[in-house]
Each structure stands twice: as structure tokens, then as C-alpha cells.
């Protein structure tokens, strides 16, 4: 092994002597230079590793530009006014009507290009004159001539000569609606009617003539039920007190036992004996006086309802004292009483067949005193309340 190692060293030395000398540029770096290079490389790697990952930002999202809302015109164009008046001329044709054209109304989204003020339609006067659009003329004429007059003739024996107008045009939102939906009054397309007057001068006001609404009947029935329950509870309490008093009285007089007597020093009854009895449903007190005489009198009441002397009415099976009385539904179906109520209900029912919207006392408290009619277009069915 030693000889092999020496031979290898000699051979390597010979090869080194035969090889050409290397230039300074290609000289093998010393260990110190290699160490410096590795150190520099390590520093570079550290720097590279420490650099954060740079992610390019996302491009900004382009929002769709909002379409500009066109401003509401402040006036009607002449073309719009001409078209509306032409429609009015067609609506008035063949009608016996007294009217006057009013200037175009434009308040934001409210108004109409050709409003009219109607003072008479047929033989019926509007007081005050109604400010409506021409689209209301034909429906009003049909309602008056074919329904109101016939109903008035049946109920009063006289025709309607006057319609009392409560309100007409008003630039406002619809009552009870959520949001900013305008009322038909804002389009000069609605009429509120307070009442009617017959040829005999009889006034038929919606407020006083309609009678009780279903809301009123239900509320009255509920109030009666509560009152009846309170009365039954009071009677039950009084009955309990009466029974307790009778029990105490019987225990004090020795009910069910031989009458007790108070004897004098001579061995004879002194004050007599007392015995409680009941005859024909009436509580009696029997007093045995000294000497053997008897005297009966009605027992004094200690409270509770008066007794008529009759046996108590037997309670039906399952009936409990103070039981709730069932709510009567017959009152809800009771027809209105009187010609005014019948006329107003006929007028309301007929209006529901003609107008797009008909509201009256049954709708809500706001309409208790008038009829509201308008010609709003309904997609499914007309509103009738």
C-alpha cells in the first residue's frame, strides 16, 4: 500500500510538470477567494429572499355611467294640449253637460293638459262644480243615469238632482300607499262625493246614511261579549258568596239536627227554638216560641242577587258558570235599515262595476264620510271597498 501511494504521487508530479503553465486569469482561486465568493453569493441570496412578492394591482373596474334622468317638463306642449282637447270633444259628444275648459295644470308629475270644470251632467248639478278630466265624463254619466236615478226612484220616489262634491284635484300621494305613488286625484282623474240631494229636497249624506260598517258591528259584538263575560263573572261570584252565607247560617242554627232550646230556671223554653228550612225554593226560618206555637218567616238575605222564589234553572250538561257567549254572526249579515242606507249601498255597488276604483265607508275610517271614484287602469280587477 505504501509503495502504491508513493508511485501515484510521482505520477501526478510528472503530469504537473508536463502541463503548460496557466495564466493569471485562469489560475485556480485560493481557498480564501472561494470563501469570499461563497459569502458574497450567500448575501445576494439573502437579499433576493428578503424581497417581498410584488403583485401587480387589479385594473380599476369601470362602472356604468348612470343614464341622466330627463327633467320633468314644466308645461304641457301645445301638441299635448291639442290631443287632449280632441279627446274631450269626442267624450262630450252626445252628452247633456254643462262645463268649462280650465287652463292646463302642470305641477311636476301632477296635472292634465285639458282639465274641465263640470257644473251639470244631465239633470244633476255638481256643487261645487267638479274639476275633472274628460275621461271621467262618460263613466259619471252612466252611473248617474242608469244607476243612481233608478235607485233613488225605488228608495225615495224621487230622482237625484244634486251631487255634493267633497274634493277633486289635489297634487298628493295616494292615501295609505307605501312610497311616493301619486293618487288619482293628482291626475284630475278622481272625485270624492259627500252625498246626494233628491228632487224632494231630501239630503242623503254618506256619513249619516250608510249606517254601521262591518267594523262597527264586529266591535259592538266584541264589546257585548266582554260585558256579558263580566256580568257572568259577577253573578258567579255573588252565587259563591250566597252559598257561603247559607252554609254559615245553617251551621249557626244547627241545620240537620234537633232544634236546640234555651231553658229557663223553671225548666221551660225561654226564648224558643230556631230551625232553618227551605220550602218551594225559598229559604224559611221556623221559630218555636214558648208555649208550643210556631212562626215561619222568609229568611233574611245576606247578600247576592234577588231570589224570585223559583227553583234555579238546571244547568245544561257541560255548561260552566260564567261561560263565554258565542259571537253572534247574524248581526254581520243584517241588511241595512232605511231607504238612505239601501240607496247608498246600491250606489256603491253600481260604482264598483263602472269605475276603476270605488271606496266607501267599508274601506277605512278615512272614507267613512264619502265615496271615492276614479278611472285608474287596473291590470287584474277593479278595486271595490
The secondary structure of 276-318 as a DSSP string is EEEETTEEEEEEE-TTS-EEEEEPPP-SSSPP-SSPPPPPPTT
pLDDT score for 25: 41
- pLDDT value of position 279: 58
The 3-state secondary structure of 182-206 reads ECHHHHCCEEEEEEEEECCCCEEEH
Task: Please give the pLDDT value at position 301.
Answer: 43
Predicted TM-score of the model (pTM): 0.58
- Calpha distance 116→191 (Å, rounded): 13
Strand order in the sheet with 282-288: 273-279, 282-288, 294-298
Q: Give residue-wise pLDDT tens across range 279-330.
A: 555 555 554 555 555 555 544 444 434 444 444 444 433 334 334 434 444 4
Nearest to 351 by CA among 366, 372, 337: 372
Residue 81, pLDDT score: 95
Which residue, 118, 151, 123, is CA-closest to 136?
Answer: 118
Q: Tell me the C-alpha distance between 121 and 144, whole Å.
A: 9
Separation between Cα atoms, residue 275 and residue 260, nearest integer Å: 9
Residues of the chain under the 70 pLDDT cut? 1-53, 55, 62-72, 175-179, 252-336
What pLDDT score does 146 carry?
A: 95
Q: What is the pLDDT of residue 175?
A: 66
**Rounded Cα gap, residues 269 and 286, in angstroms:** 15
Residues 292 and 272 sit within 8 Å (Cβ to Cβ):
no
Amino acid at each position: 500500500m505504501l509503495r502504491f501511494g508513493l508511485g501515484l504521487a510521482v505520477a501526478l508530479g510528472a503530469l504537473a510538470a508536463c502541463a503548460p503553465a496557466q495564466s493569471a486569469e485562469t489560475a485556480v482561486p485560493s481557498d480564501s477567494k472561494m470563501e469570499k465568493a461563497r459569502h458574497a453569493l450567500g448575501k445576494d441570496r439573502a437579499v433576493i429572499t428578503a424581497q417581498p412578492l410584488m403583485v401587480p394591482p387589479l385594473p380599476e373596474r369601470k362602472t356604468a355611467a348612470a343614464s341622466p334622468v330627463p327633467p320633468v317638463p314644466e308645461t304641457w306642449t301645445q301638441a299635448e294640449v291639442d290631443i287632449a282637447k280632441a279627446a274631450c270633444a269626442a267624450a262630450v259628444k252626445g252628452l247633456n253637460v254643462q262645463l268649462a275648459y280650465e287652463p292646463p295644470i302642470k305641477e311636476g308629475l301632477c296635472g292634465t293638459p285639458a282639465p274641465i270644470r263640470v257644473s251639470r251632467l244631465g239633470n244633476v248639478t255638481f256643487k261645487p262644480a267638479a274639476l275633472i278630466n274628460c275621461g271621467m265624463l262618460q263613466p259619471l254619466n252612466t252611473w248617474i243615469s242608469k244607476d243612481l236615478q233608478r235607485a233613488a226612484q225605488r228608495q225615495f220616489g224621487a230622482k237625484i238632482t244634486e251631487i255634493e262634491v267633497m274634493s277633486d284635484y289635489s297634487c298628493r300621494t295616494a292615501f295609505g300607499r307605501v312610497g311616493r305613488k301619486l293618487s288619482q286625484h293628482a291626475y284630475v282623474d278622481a272625485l270624492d262625493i259627500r252625498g246626494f240631494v233628491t228632487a224632494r229636497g231630501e239630503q242623503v249624506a254618506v256619513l249619516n246614511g250608510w249606517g254601521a260598517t262591518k267594523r262597527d258591528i264586529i266591535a259592538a259584538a266584541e264589546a257585548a261579549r266582554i260585558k256579558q263575560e263580566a256580568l257572568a263573572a259577577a253573578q258567579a261570584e255573588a252565587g259563591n258568596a250566597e252559598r257561603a252565607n247559607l252554609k254559615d247560617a245553617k251551621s249557626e242554627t244547627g241545620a240537620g239536627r234537633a232544634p236546640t232550646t234555651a231553658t229557663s230556671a223553671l225548666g221551660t223554653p225561654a226564648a224558643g227554638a230556631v230551625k232553618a228550612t227551605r220550602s218551594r225554593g225559598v229559604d224559611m226560618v221556623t221559630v218555636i216560641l214558648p208555649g208550643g206555637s210556631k212562626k215561619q218567616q222568609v229568611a233574611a238575605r245576606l247578600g247576592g242577587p234577588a231570589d224570585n222564589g223559583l227553583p234555579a234553572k238546571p244547568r245544561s250538561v257541560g255548561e260552566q258558570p260564567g261561560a263565554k257567549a258565542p259571537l253572534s254572526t247574524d248581526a254581520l249579515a243584517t241588511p241595512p235599515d232605511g231607504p238612505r242606507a239601501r240607496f247608498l249601498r246600491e250606489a256603491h255597488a253600481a260604482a264598483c262595476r263602472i269605475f276603476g276604483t270605488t271606496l266607501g265607508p267599508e274601506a277605512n275610517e278615512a272614507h267613512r264620510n264619502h265615496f271615492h271614484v276614479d278611472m285608474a287602469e287596473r291590470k287584474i280587477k277593479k278595486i271595490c271597498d
